[in-house]
Amino acid sequence: MTTFEHPASHPDQATPSSPPTGPLPPGTARPRRLRRTEPIRGLVRETVLPPSRLVLPIFLTDANENAREPIDAMPGVSRHGLNDAIAFAREAMTLGIRSFALFPKIEAEKKTPDGAEAFNADNLICRAIRRFRESLSDACLITDVALDPFSSLGHDGVVENGEILNDATVDALCRQSLVQAEAGADMVAPSDMMDGRVGAIRRTLDQHGFEHVAILSYTAKYASSFYGPFRAALDSAPAAAHDVPRDKKTYQMDPANAREAMTEARLDIDESADILMVKPALPYLDIIAWLRSAFDGPIAAYHVSGEYAMIKAAGERGWLDAEPAMIESILACARAGADIVFTYAAVEYATWWHDQHGMPVNR
């Protein structure tokens, strides 16, 4: 057994010298000089994320055009009727937010196993696009391409005999993208993670005269536990049935994998994706940074519902100061390399941005 004795028990053993006291010698490096005041800190700030780089997700409901239904699991977030959604977006635009991702909560009676409501040119999302385009002509509208909001089975793709069919799903996604483009979407955003869907959607759009509609691909969408509040907001979780997969692990990525994200990114770029997305954001900052170092095009990060909810919940319990924690987490996405951040706290962040920069709100 090793024993430890105090140096004083050995008078002949040298005692360590005391640390030097007094001022440091001239020429000592002092990084704190550039942290001394807020103007100096602002001058050398490496990461700047203005509100124009944010995307505000908006949940839509057909319950009532003026509805605003709070979502319990996401404090401060609601489902909006179309009138209220436009008013909400208009207010956000006064803060410099220009881009909106629209997500519909489809009524249960309109859901079917094949998700056919997704192809209806008069469905909730298409009506919303047209209304937004009429009222907010200079907004950027990004639409989700996946079957799960429309499917009674709750999966992003076509389910048959307990499996998600890749190619049949890609055909469905092309039809869905086309009706959204026809309604006036600026970008379609396939979030399904099917193989080959980006190229197929690009060809479909081009063949129908929508070369100008961009594709924002969910390139590295992980089979994450952080999506729970989102699925509750849209009632889009996988159905509990014996012939329906209980999770989305056969198409969304394994959280343990990083190199696979690079494979997905190369494929999406080869298939003409305009923007690459990583989802979720904070647990996958390494993936964002890796893609940023490898590709020159725009990278987006989705600060998802679970990331938002856990900060809000901790703030409500007094465990942390929620507002600066939320700002920090959003800035972390940009610091890792994201050019664009999808976040439910976009309005909160933009308000902070204007306060920090002493800028008037454009009301």
Q: What confidence tens digit (pLDDT) does each residue in 146-182 have?
A: 999 999 999 999 999 999 999 999 999 999 999 999 9
What's the pTM value of the predicted model, to 2 decimals?
A: 0.90
Instruction: Answer for the pair 153, 113: CB distance below 8 angstroms, yes or no.
Output: yes
Output DSSP code: residue 220: E
- The residue among 359, 356, 361, 362 whose CA lies nearest residue 41 is 356
pLDDT score, position 62? 93
The conformation of residue 12, written as its DSSP 8-state character, comes to T
Q: Which residue has the higher pLDDT, 236 or 264?
A: 264
- 272 pLDDT higher than 50: yes
Give the pLDDT confidence score for residue 16 in this predicted structure: 54
* Segment 262-272 mean pLDDT: 97
Q: Which of 102, 132, 89, 101 is nearest to 347 (CA)?
A: 89
Instruction: Express each pLDDT in 10-22 by its tens digit.
Output: 545 555 566 667 8
With 70 as the cut, is the pLDDT of residue 7 above it? no
Residue type, 336: A
- Report the pLDDT value the prediction gives residue 31, as an integer from 0 to 100: 92
Poorest-pLDDT segment among 30-44, 153-167, 232-246:
232-246
For all residues of the chain together, what is the average pLDDT?
A: 92
Rounded average pLDDT over 314-329: 97
List the chain domain ranges: 50-357
pLDDT tens sequence across 82-115:
999 999 999 999 999 999 999 999 999 999 999 9
Q: What is the pLDDT of residues 180-190, one digit of tens each?
A: 999 999 999 99
Residues with active-site annotation:
221, 279
What's the rounded Cα separation, in Å, for the pair 2 and 75?
56
Contact 278, 284 (CB under 8 A): yes
Rounded-to-integer distance, Cα 71 and Cα 58, Å: 12
Please report, rounded to a whole number, the percentage of residues in the chain having pLDDT higher than 90: 84
Q: Give dist(CA 276, CA 49) in Å, integer.
A: 18
The domain made up of 50-357 is a member of CATH 3.20.20.70: yes
In the block, residue with structure tokens 């009676």: 109
Beta-carbon count within 10 A of 184 CB: 18
Model confidence at 238, pLDDT cuts 50, 70, 90, reads confident
* Dist CA 218 CA 273 (whole Å): 10
Question: Nearest to residue 125, comparing CAs of 116, 117, 115?
Answer: 117
Any idea which of 3-17, 143-157, 312-326 has the lowest mean pLDDT?
Answer: 3-17
Mean pLDDT over residues 346-355, rounded? 96
